[in-house]
Amino acid sequence: MDLFLVVFLLTVIQNAFIAETLRYKGVFPLGIPHVALCDHQLDNYHIKKDTYVLGNLLAITRDPNLWPKPDVFDPNRFLDKDNKYMSALPGFTPFGIGRRICLGEKLALADLFYITVRLLKSTPDYVFALPSGEGTADLEPDPNIFFRRAPNPYEIILKKR
């Protein structure tokens, strides 16, 4: 297989993996607080000027109307039928929504891609594992941290293939 094609396919798969990671376990489940600039009626809700407004990004990324089986980690949901990466899916909101979306989105995605490539490139003869076995890490977020989702500490080891 042509080296360019291999690199392209790995890039597509890696982008899908990163996107699904951001969807599945987003960093800021309620986004960044905003302030209403004027009174506004949203369906049956009246939002007064100067009210703090939060976008429930976690609810969007777990909405079964937008994501089939939202509680399952599946990077393939970001690939079309031709295995091309799709980044602009409805409900994909890891960097916020609206006009005030995170300014660092492109830099963060580039950094995540670079870090993942460097990690995989530097460990080709190893597999990542949990010392106490598969499925033993507690990945549920710490309930004491309100705005940011962070799993409880756990260890990962590298095992020689």
Tell me which residue of 78, 64, 65, 69 sits closest to 22, measured CA to CA: 78
Give residue for tokens 């890039």: 11
Phi-psi region of 50 (alpha: psi -120 to 50; beta: other; left: phi over 0): left
137 with 150: CB under 8 angstroms?
A: no
Residues 6+ apart with CB under 8 A from 89: 66, 77, 78
Tell me which residue of 7, 15, 2 sits closest to 84, measured CA to CA: 15
Q: Is 38 annotated as a binding residue?
A: no
Q: Where are the beta strands (DSSP E) in the chain?
A: 34-35, 40-42, 45-47, 52-53, 126-129, 157-160
- Residues in binding site for heme: 102
